[in-house]
Structure 1
Amino acid sequence: MERADSLAPQPSTAITDRGDGARPVISVRAATLAYGDRVLWRDLDLDVRPGEFLAVLGPNGSGKTSLLRVLLGRQALTAGSVSVLGSPPHRAGGLMGYVPQQKALPAHTLLRARDLVRLGLDGHRWGLSLAPGPARRRVDELLDAVGALPYAATPVGRLSGGEQQRVRIAQALATDPRILLCDEPLLSLDLQHQRTVTDLVDRRRRLAGTTVVFVTHEINPVLGAADRVLYLAGGGFRIGPPEEVMTTDVLSRLYGTQVDVVRVRGRLVVVGAPDAAPAHHEARPNGGGPP
């Protein structure tokens, strides 16, 4: 089976109406999220279209992960409203896939890669699970789709960071979600694995029309895939196409110091950011507010 085919949705869940004129799959209105006196972001209006790849960027503590928690129905807004697929977030269920932040697993963990993906397939079910034969075939398809079938029987604690992320993506795709939420899936990965993980997510988006909300600190690996960028900083935000948000003027105001954005072979590259981060990384802002 070709990996590209196995990343496509199952026939029963395939969605055909994913044009720009379709209803937003995520709609946020006048949203504010605060913890006490600390406002993460205020008056956020956001519509995410079917099949769109939205990259969410910003410094630590700017509310990127909290935004995903809101979309998952695990965090209430301080003010405003949010709907997912036309309903409150907690009703989306299996229609949303979630790739959590990577956490190191002990080497002695007995859970195999296959077992982790199987939990995504029927771990949320009450009562009897899926029949062993069809479930195993589906797990193998998912592992093959992300290039993880060779280590299906390997305990996840013995896998490299890049290998673990492949397995987590397979787990998140187990229910053929219409929306895929990714929380820092590139964290602690080298550049090659960052590109591999981004390509896997984007291939699913292109083949299945899955909407992607991709939280990351690593700008450049996602710029070729992102339709829009949402940049959260200083209690505010900036949203638009990468070419509008990722500019020298905008990022210099966000960072509070000179940041240069240049184009190399058709790609945007951020250079000269604080702490002398490599060009393929996003340096952490030092408290600058939004423009």
Structure 2
Amino acid sequence: MTNLDATQGGPCIVFRDAAVARGGRTIWQHGDFTIPRGSVTAIVGTNGTGKTTMMKAELGLIPLAHGSIDVLGEPAGRANRRIGYVPQIYASDVDSSLTALQSALLGLTGTRFGIHPVTRAQKAKAMQALEFAGIADKARHRLSDLSGGQRQRVAIAQALVADPELLMLDEPLANLDLASQRAVVQLLARLNRDLGMTIQVVAHDLNMLLPILTGAVYLLDGHPHYAAMDRVLDSDLLTHLYGTRVQVVTTPQGDMFVTPGLGDDDAADVHTADEIAGLHRHDAADDTTHGTTHGRTLR
């Protein structure tokens, strides 16, 4: 994997009064913001607000109704060779009879796989990507024999094999158990910290990603906005965003998480901050990655 200099080349993604319409209906409009290189950004919002649509617009897969989007200094779609993309349901987009190594190689060979010979250098590159993703020991295993978390890491390896400057993932934690979610988040942390890779994630639930996020694009009232996480983690903003009362809780250990708020009339068993801290605490000996972002500790 190649180390990237996040300070070179200007911003990563620039929206200029961008709007998308589908079937005569405006999905979102007046997108006007800049996402810096070297950031880890979530696209958040309720279902149907256009989170995946935004990522596809950035990839140039959906035309804009108005305005422009530049990605890595080029109009949307022109720099896709420098972008790694992991779709929402990876297993449905690739033959599950392929091995993990064959799947990773698709990131280099694409539709030519099986027609043109694969070089020794390409195999070495694919194995390097699998190794970085922590799944090299399953290189000869078929996707159909792997767990959901293992398949997700193969998908990330496929996206990494061509040394992208920007990694884009659509709901990478969906349908994964907590251990698999944590492994994927730790992998993303390593990519950002060790390689300087810019990462963008479509996310429904922020909690597992909070330790690594630097900012978020939030789709609110039909308009996309970008802000640093210390501004996004606001109870009033998140309550408006999700249409239900939301609380941002900080534990005594400095961990932050987002939880549905409870009204005075709600009868529920509410944990104290100390109890919640215990639920979120992990033993350092079990971890392979440690990092801190804006006071939130990746454990």
Identify the TM-score tier after normalising by the shorter chain: 0.7 to 0.9
- The Cα of 1:38 is off from its aligned counterpart by 3.0
Residue of structure 1 aligned with 2:256, choices 261, 268, 283: 268
Please tell me whether the aligned partners of residues 41 and 63 of structure 1 are also in contact (alpha carbons under 8 angstroms).
Answer: yes
Q: Shift in Å at residue 256 of structure 1?
A: 3.1
Listed as ranges, the matches of 1:80-91 within 5 Å are 80-91=67-78
Structure 1 residue 206: Cα displacement = 1.6
Asked if the contact 2:41–2:215 (Cα under 8 Å) also holds between the matched residues in 1, the reply is: yes
1:149 maps to a residue whose letter is A
- Is 2:78 the partner of 1:61? no
Give the aligned partner of residue 32 of structure 2: 45
- Check conservation: 1:105, 1:156, Cα contact below 8 A: no
Distance in 2, matches of 1:95 and 1:85, equals 8
Cα offset, 1:31, TM superposition: 0.7
The answer (yes or no) to whether the contact 2:58–2:71 under 8 Å persists in 1 is: yes
Decide whether the 8 Å contact of 1:31 with 1:79 is kept in 2: yes
Runs of 4 or more consecutive aligned structure 1 residues displaced over 6 Å after TM superposition: 125-128
1:102 maps to amino acid:
I
RMSD of Structure 2 on Structure 1 (CA): 2.6
Q: Is the 8 A contact 2:57 2:64 kept in 1?
A: yes
Equivalent residue in structure 1 for 2:11, among 24, 31, 34: 24
Q: Distance in 2 between matches of 1:124 and 1:94?
A: 14
Task: Provide the C-alpha distance between the structure 2 equivalents of 1:109 and 1:255, rounded to a whole number of angstroms.
Answer: 36
Corresponding residue to 1:100 among 71, 75, 87: 87
Shift of 1:37: 4.7
Inter-CA distance 58–123: structure 2 relative to 1 (3 Å threshold): same
* 1:189 has 2:181 as partner: no
Contact 2:31 2:225 in 1 (8 A): no
Shift of 1:131: 5.2
Q: What is the Cα deviation at residue 128 of structure 1?
A: 8.4
Q: CA deviation at 1:36?
A: 3.8
SS in 2 for 1:123: helix
| Counterpart for residue 176 of structure 1 | 163
Whether the aligned pair in 2 keeps the contact of 1:105 and 1:157 (CA below 8 Å) is no
2:207 corresponds, among 216, 220, 231, to 220
Amino acid at match of 2:259: V
1:203 to 176, 190, 193: 190
Answer yes or no: is the 8 Å Cα contact 1:22–1:49 preserved in 2.
no
Once the two structures are aligned, what percentage of the paired residues are identical? Answer: 36
SS for the counterpart of 2:74 is coil
CA–CA separation in structure 2 for the residues paired with 1:190 and 1:148: 17
**CA-CA distance at 1:127 after TM superposition:** 12
Q: Is the 8 A contact 1:122 1:130 kept in 2?
A: no
Q: Which residue of 1 aligns with 2:101?
A: 114
- For 1:104-143, list aligned pairs within 5 A: 104=91, 109-123=96-110, 132-143=119-130
SS, match of residue 97 in structure 2 = coil
Q: Give 1:256's aligned amino acid.
A: G
Structure 1 unaligned regions, length at least 5: 1-7, 281-291
Contact 1:33 1:42 in 2 (8 A): yes
Aligned-partner Cα distance in 2 for 1:34–1:242 = 28
Normalization by structure 2: what TM-score? 0.80
Structure 1 residue 202, shift from structure 2 partner? 2.1
Q: What's the offset of the Cα at 1:138?
A: 1.3
Aligned counterpart, 1:237: 224
SS in 2 for 1:90: coil
Q: Does 1:154 align with 2:168?
A: no
In structure 1, the partner of 2:239 is 252
Instruction: Look up the equivalent residue of 2:169 and give its one-letter code.
Output: C
Number of equivalences: 263
